[in-house]
Amino acid sequence: MRPMGVLIFIEAIAWFLLKQYRAIIQDYKFFHKMYLKRANYLIAYRTISGKEDVSDQELIFITSLLSEDLSEKLKEGESTESLENLKSPTPNPIFSVLSNILARKENPKP
């Protein structure tokens, strides 16, 4: 019984940490996109600054940097895995195992 209790305890903690990891990764992706957008602005600024005449190739390069869509806005009907997970949060499976075990102890079969 004791090893089973330890296993259930560790599984519950692992489930909680996995949910925290997913949330942290989403935050990281958001801030990384913001970093990339600002890095593009800096590159475009440094390309233009200090020059009196800018070539056509440099203008194309700068406009492509500034027009790059890093927001990843979804079209109607599209979804991501993280959005689907938020729509239907899954309860910790350990709770259902524990409730089944407790129900068996309360109502033992003859």
pLDDT single digits (tens) 3-45: 888 988 898 899 889 888 988 988 898 899 899 989 988 988 8
Query: What are the C-alpha distances in Å from 75 to residues 45, 71, 79, 100, 101?
Result: 31, 12, 8, 43, 46
The pLDDT value given to residue 100: 80
pTM of structure: 0.59
Task: Give the integer Cα–Cα distance in Å for 2 and 21.
Answer: 29
